[in-house]
Structure 1
Amino acid sequence: MILSELIQTIHNEIVKRDLMYEHTPANKAILEQKCGGTFEAVLTGKGDTKCLIPQVGTLHFLFRGQGEEYIPCSPSLYRGNPTDVEVFVERMRLVVFRRLLASHPVVEQFFRKHRFLVDEEGLAQHYGLKTSVLDLTSSLEVALFFAMCPYDSEHDRYCYHNDGKEHEAVLYVFLPIFDNEPIPMLDGNGFLNGSIKPIGLQAFRRPGAQQGYGLHLSKEESLKAYMYRFTFTCEESEAYYRKFADGDGLWIKDELVDKAKSITKQEVFSFGVFNETFCDYRPKGFSGNKLKKCLPNGIKLKTKVEDVVFTAEERTQIIERWNNDLGKSMASTIFRKKWFEHEGVEDSNDGQQRIVGIHNEHAFRSLKQLETQQMLLMITCPDGPEGAEWKNYTNTPCTRKKMKAPDNTQWTKVPARMEDMFGNPYLTEKDWWI
């Protein structure tokens, strides 16, 4: 399959599922004009915590592009079959990274203040730490960029093929409602809240630019998705490279890059970091003392080790940039979709139908609402993408935590509701000013 055939195939699969008519040429143009580059604040189901999801209309698929197929396709934390102790060391680096994020004024005084989800491990994955997350995206174009543009690790940048040869790559396609399984998850709480979670907009621009989602896997779990193999030319590789500003539009360099890079090489940790990591990621069969004795050569623990944090001067500069421009710009991309319940539709005397009994205004949609919509859409097209191979590299069965028997004793009523079609930004200067 060549690139143009792959793109047409994905388009056809989206059209099959397009009950909202969002992907007709006219409506797609309106959607991109109204929502392009914006994010919807959606309640996760955990109190008033909200994730910031890329606004792309109905989310039919998530994608992952790779320059080649790796068997198995594992998160960076598990590549090379590391020992439990080696995994623990990487988890200590993640804890150091978490402390770094906590020192960033935008994280603490904007994201935490408004209860926007801070995906610490998803961010760590985007900035080079070894994690249990595989990057996914809601953008086919972004996935194709990563499939066709190789990474230059020496210079920490992406490039394009220019050897005059034809190249092959792979594209993984995930159905979000399936949550990395061959069947949909029906417990009412799993949509974008289980193995697949949104990273979306964060205090740092890289994940948002990539319309990022994360597939969270344990060491025993496998990627389960549909896969296409396709070929492309050097000219097509360069075209995607240029489309995203020579890669800089996706691989954005900011104040987090150098600090994250230093954490990936860190070998000396405080006992405080060790204890925090042991509490959160204790490896099976290890006591604290046993684990300390088993740490690899070169890894040391000390009573006091300075955390990698943003300095007072850096924090001041970050706040100045935020208040001068970045805060207003980011806040303008955060939308919400209000919705109302109603009692149904009735015929009026003039022959027109009108919605009656409108009540209960809600400020935000929830992941559970999106799941209900996804289930209704799936009924119309339950099949996987045409022509794709199903991949479950380790033949991992459906995880026990997801094998919940559905309650077939009664129907589930989905209340009638009306909601904003495009949503609107809602944060004022008072909301984003630090």
Structure 2
Amino acid sequence: MKNLLSLEHYKYLSNLGLYELNRKDSNGCNTHINSHGLVTSNSKSNFNALDVGNNKYKLIPSPEFFNTLYRGQNKFYENCFSSIYRENISFENRVIDVLKKIEFIELLKEYPVLKDLNKHQIYNCTIENDFESLAQHYGFLTSHLDLTNSKDIAMFFATTKYSNGKYEIIKNKQEGILYKLNYLAHFEKINIIGAQCLPRSGIQRGFSIDLKQGENFNDLVDEIEHFEISKELSSYYFNMFDGGKKLFPKEILVKKVKDILNSKDISNYSVTKFLKKNHILSKKDIENILFNNGYILTNKRSSFSKKELLKVSKKWFKKEKNEFLSRVCTRGTCEPLNPILMHF
């Protein structure tokens, strides 16, 4: 019986040093096959399906085998915490952001692309929707810290600055930070985001690491490279990704996310969903937090209009779906017909 490559088998193959598949040989040519006879795609735009358990798969960004994850910052922080645990975030603001995140996730469940991808099976597995990591990519507070397997993408974030809703070139010399993390050494803590129903995480070749409260990323990382950002270096990476436009494609959900984050309305539905998982705070506690921070409880939820749903569906089924699926690669595995024969 043929199965999809599991995370366990993927780690085993990676430990064989197969990430060397994607290096260049002595003639400067890209290597697609190694001594174990495994062939892999060298396309940076592909995604490789992995069985993550419970009949679910995730789409890991190419190259299929690699050993380094990166994170870029244009400033060094002594305490590099995930967004929800940063020192300037109050407990009340954390609660409010979780309520807004619930609103985002419930809206996302109505997204036509997600609904259609949920029907697509690979070896009897369906895609795992990573709502928490998607929320992280769209500006909500989470316990995750973003990583990528692309050094160039990490360098874009390390050599540009975000101001007034857009990325800009850094004109004056300053320090940049490039984190390097051994993927296999931290395999159990790394979360694959990859390609999802929303394009951003796939384009940014996204991974994340889930940090506990008080856990400092600086203490976990293998190497922290401090370098000087010049205007020329900043311009190079700024132009490589068209000022960030290549990493942040236009999509209908961006406006919806802004509306949710900026709104002073919180739906009763989100509060009910929150209370089902959180048994420490009461509904009265939530109401007091919202009132003290100028929020209003309402029965209205964020939603897509019929026109918006139709527009997204047309784009997906006319063009985007085929492009998406054409970049999905699979590596099957096969169990022996008679395990006893494995001893001979």
Task: Report the TM-score, using the length of structure 1 for normalisation.
Answer: 0.66
Structure 2 match to 1:22: 22
Change (3 A) 1:167 1:283: farther
Cα drift, residue 287 of structure 1: 3.0
- Of 323, 328, 339 in structure 1, the residue corresponding to residue 322 of structure 2 is 328
Question: Is the 8 Å Cα contact of residues 76 and 130 (structure 1) preserved in structure 2?
Answer: yes
- Of 273, 276, 285 in structure 2, the residue corresponding to residue 290 of structure 1 is 285
Change (3 A) 1:112 1:137: farther
Structure 2 match to 1:388: none
- Of 221, 228, 235 in structure 1, the residue corresponding to residue 232 of structure 2 is 235
Q: Percent of pairs identical after alignment?
A: 26
Change (3 A) 1:235 1:151: same
Question: Is the 8 Å Cα contact of residues 65 and 143 (structure 1) preserved in structure 2?
Answer: yes
Aligned-residue RMSD, C-alpha? 2.6
Question: Is the 8 Å Cα contact of residues 67 and 170 (structure 1) preserved in structure 2?
Answer: yes
Cα drift, residue 22 of structure 1: 3.2
Structure 1 match to 2:171: 162
Question: In structure 1, what is the Cα distance between the partners aligned to 2:40 and 2:155?
Answer: 19
Instruction: Report the secondary structure of 2:72's partner residue.
Output: strand
Question: In structure 1, what is the Cα distance between the partners aligned to 2:101 and 2:120?
Answer: 23
Structure 2 match to 1:149: 160
Question: In structure 2, what is the Cα distance between the partners aligned to 1:138 and 1:125?
Answer: 17
Instruction: Report the secondary structure of 1:241's partner residue.
Output: helix
Residue 300 (1) aligns with residue 289 (2): no
Aligned pairs, number? 310
| Unmatched tracts of structure 1, length 5 or more | 1-16, 180-190, 343-358, 361-414, 417-434
Instruction: Report the secondary structure of 2:252's partner residue.
Output: coil
Change (3 A) 1:36 1:231: same
Residue 41 (1) aligns with residue 49 (2): yes
| Unmatched tracts of structure 2, length 5 or more | 1-16, 33-38
Question: In structure 1, what is the Cα distance between the partners aligned to 2:198 and 2:154?
Answer: 20
Change (3 A) 1:247 1:290: closer
Pair member with larger Rg: 1
Change (3 A) 1:19 1:121: closer
Structure 1 match to 2:102: 95
Change (3 A) 1:222 1:148: same
Superposed counterparts of 1:83-122, under 5 Å = 83-111=90-118, 113-114=120-121, 115-122=126-133
Question: Is the 8 Å Cα contact of residues 267 and 297 (structure 2) preserved in structure 1?
Answer: yes
Question: Is the 8 Å Cα contact of residues 100 and 308 (structure 1) preserved in structure 2?
Answer: yes
Change (3 A) 1:313 1:43: same
Residue 253 (1) aligns with residue 253 (2): no
User: CA offsets per residue over residues 202-252 of structure 1, 9 Å max, x none?
Assistant: 122111111001122232332221311112321111111111123211122
Cα drift, residue 84 of structure 1: 2.8
Cα drift, residue 293 of structure 1: 2.7
Question: Is the 8 Å Cα contact of residues 151 and 158 (structure 1) preserved in structure 2?
Answer: yes
Question: In structure 1, what is the Cα distance between the partners aligned to 2:288 and 2:168?
Answer: 43
User: CA offsets per residue over residues 109-167 of structure 1, 9 Å max, x none?
Assistant: 22355421221121122222222221100111111111011112x1x22121234xx33
Question: In structure 2, what is the Cα distance between the partners aligned to 1:36 and 1:240?
Answer: 17
Structure 2 match to 1:411: none
Structure 1 match to 2:331: 337
Residue 131 (1) aligns with residue 142 (2): yes
Structure 2 match to 1:222: 216
Question: Is the 8 Å Cα contact of residues 42 and 62 (structure 2) preserved in structure 1?
Answer: no
- Of 58, 68, 71 in structure 1, the residue corresponding to residue 65 of structure 2 is 58
